[in-house]
Amino acid sequence: MLVLLYGVFTVAAASRSIYQLIAQYDEAPLAYALSAVSAAVYAFITLSLVRGGDGARRAALVCCAAELVGVLVVGTWTLVEPSAFPDETVWSDYGMGYLFIPIFLPVTGLLWLRRARREATADATTTGTAATDG
């Protein structure tokens, strides 16, 4: 389910930001650039979750943390200085335009990745082998 949600948000954010950057760039360049950044983050996390393995999980963990920071910073920024964002981004108002999924998605991802890491460590301890990428 997590991979599916990240995949949907990748497509939604990417298609919206590409159109806006091409057709409406002058209206809200910061907002549209931030939407493109969010699409790239979503895509990277999606690919990392699909790939699996320790290295991919670590990369996804870093990106989920960065995503959470981005949502919190942009969400707060849009509330404090709305004039800086004449149009919404995926992370505006903590993702209110997307049913707040953008604020819950990285938290869910971080929790899932933490659990996956614990399970991999437990499996490696049980079998006597080190967890590897793959």
User: What is the model's pTM?
Assistant: 0.84
**Triad 107, 112, 114: Cα angle to 5°:** 95
What is the reported pLDDT for 121?
A: 77
Greater model confidence, 127 or 14: 14
Please check the confidence at residue 20 and state whether its pLDDT lies above 80: yes
User: How many CB atoms neighbour CB 28 within 10 A?
Assistant: 18
Distance between CA atoms of 62 and 84, rounded to whole angstroms? 27
Please check the confidence at residue 70 and state whether its pLDDT lies above 60: yes
Please check the confidence at residue 126 and state whether its pLDDT lies above 90: no
Distance between CA atoms of 53 and 117, rounded to whole angstroms? 9
What is the reported pLDDT for 9?
A: 93
Extents of the domains making up the chain: 2-123
Q: Provide the sign of the torsion angle of the four alpha carbons 57, 61, 66, 69, taken in this order.
A: positive
